[in-house]
Chains A and B, each alone.
Chain A
Amino acid sequence: MSDNKEDLDLQALQRELDDAFATTRPRRGYEDELWLRMQARRPLWTRLRDAIGSVGARFREAPAIPLGAVAVLLVVVVGAGILLNSGLRLSPTHSSYAQGAQAPDLALSEFGKLPTPALHPGLVPAPVSNGPSTSYSAALDQSNLYFGPATLRWTGQMPLQSVQAAIYRYAEPGASLADQFAASIGASSDKQVRSGTGFLGTYSGQAFILTVQPTEPQLPLEPYFNLAPTSPVTASGGPDSRDAAAAFLGRYSLVPSWPNEVKVQQSNGHVLVQYLRAFQLPGGGVAYLVNWIGQRYGASVDINNGGITAASGPLPLNLDATTYRLISNDEAVRMALASPPASSQAIQPVPAVDLKSVELVYALAFARGQGYYEPAYLFSGTFSYNGQTYTKRVLVPLVDPTLRS
């Protein structure tokens, strides 16, 4: 073989090697899957530090976290970590990927087909009529929200990076779990306290009444508790309503263990302290949980004329976690513009709305006795009608439609 021929052969081989290494890549989904696993395997204290730090950095004040609440968080985090790891571990089932089975989609859908979260505004602007009669609903204000038909246009800026977010699942609790929860805060079952359907349990403790309600699937709303002192409790913890709320919740180890923002609303002697619930994202930061009209929610404490009258919030539950294939940001925009209105109640003429902002949120969907916290984009835009400014919201679930029921 001449030197020239050999050189040409070797150069061709080098080009082929360049192509071979440049085009050899892991299966689709592996990159996000591994990233989530890495996040889940981070030392617990760093996850807690980041979770607390990221919230603390963004908001002026975060509530203190008592040991009891941290313990609950640990259960959730460790449980999620174990499930993430077990679901995504390179296990014998993983090895089957290389055997040509349709493994990736199965691996990314271990919860099966997911129900689809959606906005359920009901009548606008009528107040929520079927919501819980607790402070959960007290903060709901859907005036000037519009969910009817509109001509939509996207004029905002989507995030550059596609979303990475886990899906969380809880199993609908039974009465025994409600009993355990009641016992943990010093309450015992009391049939005389309150009767009626729709409760997992009614309890009484020292100077308070506790009710625990199951998921309200029509909204949906996760299982929640409502703790009402038999007489208003003088707020302690200082003049700040946040401190008073934290002190009251801390007395029962009910300070939220999940990431949250504290929000205070005041009106005519009534103060509502809300702990808006968020979920940690694998790449850092959080996404807030929104309800059936796209508003953030979580736990809350009612204070009337300096006395605490009620506290409510989601029942502490273990969450399983996994990942699903999510749609791209471009696809999310297309789905937002093509989405049907959440309400048929329309303004005439049909308004034209520029959707200008988008927020990554979590929304609850419920099916088959299980609740699913799923990532979604909440698009928003405003328009004027009869001299008033209305806000139009569109919720776009991010789990691939083929993996949803």
Chain B
Amino acid sequence: MASDRPPFEDVYRDYLGRIYAYVRAQVGTSADAEDITAQVFMNAYQAYDRFEARNVTPAAWLFRIARNATLDHFRASGRRDRLQRTIEHQPEAEHDPSAMAEERIQYRALLVHVARLPERQRDAISLRHSGLSFEEVGHLMSCSEDAAKMLYHRALRALRDAVAGEEQAIE
């Protein structure tokens, strides 16, 4: 076992919240987010013996697993159906104070907009704001660091427009 590898429980405690937030920004319900997060850490736990801390940070390693698990989730259930459920479920949940307290989400509306972005834009936003560097984002998304920056900024503008569009509609 590599001596520079931290105990898995430390990795788990350090990253559970971030991984959950990343997943939660992609999917419609906290139940789905918990399912996927559980799968991420189950997979990570089983693979931890093969994790090489010298080659990759725990964050990049875990977010790769999380990204794959989320993509698998969408593939399995049909992304379009999932997005539809996202749109349908979020407003309902917002009206349920106990659910909001349970989930501990303070920016629900914003995350709904993130979830509605095109897949790669959504991924770039989520990975970047989960604390990854552009280099790590690019590596995970199989593109260069510069391409990741461009993708991120394009996503940021799209998100701003979406939020502004909704605000105008409300007014």
Contacts and interface: CB of A to CB of B under 8 A. Distances in A.
Interface of A: 9-10, 13-14, 16-28, 30-31, 34-35, 37-38, 41-42, 90, 94-95, 97-102, 104, 283
A240 B129 CA distance: 63
A26 B106 contact: no
A90 B130 contact: no
Contacts of A283: 9
Interface string B136-155: 00000000000000000100
Contacts of B38: 34, 37, 90
B98 A102 contact: yes
Contacts of B156: 10, 13-14
Nearest to A101: B98
Interface stretch (B16-24, B50-58, B59-67, B72-80): B16-24
A19 B34 CA distance: 20
Contacts of A19: 106-107
B129 A21 contact: yes
Interface size class of B (residues with CB under 8 A): 35 or more
A34 B31 contact: no
B99 A100 contact: yes
B125 A38 contact: no
Contacts of A24: 17, 20-21, 24-25, 103-107, 111
Given A17-B129, A21-B22, A100-B96, A26 B163 contact: no
B102 interface: yes
Contacts of B71: none
Contacts of A22: 21
Contacts of B22: 21
B105 A17 contact: no
A90 B110 contact: no
Contacts of B131: 21
Contacts of A31: 13, 16
B33 interface: yes
Contacts of B29: 95, 98
